[in-house]
Amino acid sequence: MSRAFGEGFLVGRMSRDIAFGRIPIEEIDGLFGWSDINELLARGSVAPAELRMWKDGAELPDHAFTTVRRGHRVIDQARVVGLMRQGHSLIVDGVDQVHPGLRAATDDVTRFVGAFASCNLFAAAGRTGNVTRHFDDYDILVLQLIGRKRWSLFAPTVPDPLPGIDTAGTADAGDCPSEPVEDRVLEPGSVLHVPRGWWHRVEPADELSVHLTFPISQRTGYDWLRWVLSRTLADASVRANLDRWGSGDDQRAQAERLADVFLAEASKASLADFFDDERRQAHGREATSLPWEVAPLRPPPSTRIEPVHLAAPVVETDGAGDGERLRIATAGQTFSLSSDHLALVTTLLESRGLTIQELADRAGSDVETATSLTLALLKLRLVRTVDR
């Protein structure tokens, strides 16, 4: 994705304007296809992802494509196929939670944009399987995988709609401008960025189509203001009751004091502090590293490991000389390690996955030490083993 949109995308264009790009077809080859969809459906449930079906701008109720077996609601594969044959699209929200390849691709998007991404799958078998013309309250990156789909994009009418506050637009007849700003057909390898608020109408061509949409949770001014507000809580005047029965002057004085407390805090808190704090709190995906977490075994040097956290943890050194320690802040916790491991820790936490042998080589350490550190970080759930 980083190359697909070209230089300057993140700084200048993302979230402000629509953008188109291309990924070489070889790079998405094998990422996700019909056999993966067959696999997903065969599980009986896509939970914790969510399966939905749409046609002609209307969503079907769950019971149209599920059935109850042994007391559990499961996907009825024959009905899903029958509905797709009639032109319904199949949508799986949060498909990154159930498909390893898409989880990795989604994590790449998160690292690229610096904000958490998820992944929704859209598979259509005909011309009619479309969602209503609408806008989303989050930025999206779209990757077309199979077939072609036409995207008509219309200027926003609600600037920067906020998730959970400005509900996403669904009324086709509503405020959407009549003339699109762009009207393009995406082909396999095409990528598209749609900032939140931009209306879109998406129509499958008369052929099979599979695309992925990566919704991005951006941080907004409102997030920063709320964060500043949370930092004022230590101040007793913020915790005190509001003066319900006071005179007008008393109430004005209290409001002024509170505004002063807020402004004082705001002037101390930079955006960089906010992002650092976010990195300290950010949780990665939950993952186990069996059998190494439970058995008194040492993983062989060929074991592949990767950081669990998608936002780089904050690594600081503490003290000086022999007593120097490393402090790693992530997932709401702070871990302390001997600073002898600085090269190993930073090499590993900044990597996108490597073997224990590669870790030792890159950090100029020996395999024995790299293995011990890996085991320690596995148990702290800061890294996990991967089979790639």
Ligand X SMILES: O=C(O)CCC(=O)C(=O)O
Provide the 10 A C-beta neighbour count for residue 369. Answer: 15
122 near ligand X, judged by CB under 6 A: yes
Q: Which single residue is written with the structure tokens 């042994």?
A: 70
Considering only 200, 231, 381, 384, the residue that binds ligand X (CB under 6 A) is 200
Considering only 32, 36, 41, 89, the residue that binds ligand X (CB under 6 A) is 89
Taking contact as CB under 6 A, which single stretch among the options 79-87, 134-142, 306-314, 358-366 is the one that binds ligand X? Answer: 134-142
140 near ligand X, judged by CB under 6 A: yes
Q: In what order do the strands lie in the sheet with 199-204?
A: 182-186, 149-154, 199-204
110 near ligand X, judged by CB under 6 A: no
The two three-digit tokens of residue 186, written as one number: 């995406």
106 near ligand X, judged by CB under 6 A: no
Comparing CB distances to ligand X, the nearer of 181 and 354 is 181
Residues 6+ apart with CB under 8 A from 333: none
136 near Fe ion, judged by CB under 5 A: yes
Taking contact as CB under 5 A, which single stretch among the options 118-126, 128-136, 293-301, 318-326 is the one that binds Fe ion? Answer: 128-136
Q: Minimum Å distance from CB 322 to ligand X?
A: 56
118 near ligand X, judged by CB under 6 A: no
Region of residue 318 (left: phi > 0; alpha: psi -120 to 50; beta: else): beta
In this structure, are residues 145 and 32 in contact, taking their beta carbons and an 8 Å threshold?
yes
Q: In what order do the strands lie in the sheet with 325-330?
A: 314-318, 325-330, 333-338
Measured between its terminal Cα atoms, the distance across the chain in Å is 20
4 near ligand X, judged by CB under 6 A: no
**Partners of 306 in the β-ladder:** 384
Taking contact as CB under 6 A, which single stretch among the options 74-82, 135-143, 253-261, 372-380 is the one that binds ligand X? Answer: 135-143
Maximal C-alpha separation, the chain: 74
Considering only 130, 218, 289, 355, the residue that binds ligand X (CB under 6 A) is 130
Considering only 106, 110, 190, 213, the residue that binds ligand X (CB under 6 A) is 213
Q: Minimum Å distance from CB 120 to Fe ion?
A: 9
Q: Minimum Å distance from CB 195 to Fe ion?
A: 12
19 binds, among ligand X, Fe ion, none (CB under 5 to 8 A by kind): none
Considering only 202, 310, 348, 383, the residue that binds ligand X (CB under 6 A) is 202
Whole-angstrom CA distances from 112 to 152, 290, 367, 382 are 26, 29, 31, 20
Whole-angstrom CA distances from 31 to 23, 49, 125, 146 are 12, 18, 20, 11
Name the site residues for ligand X (rule: CB under 6 A).
Answer: 89, 122, 130-131, 136, 140, 142, 200, 202, 213
Name the site residues for Fe ion (rule: CB under 5 A).
Answer: 136
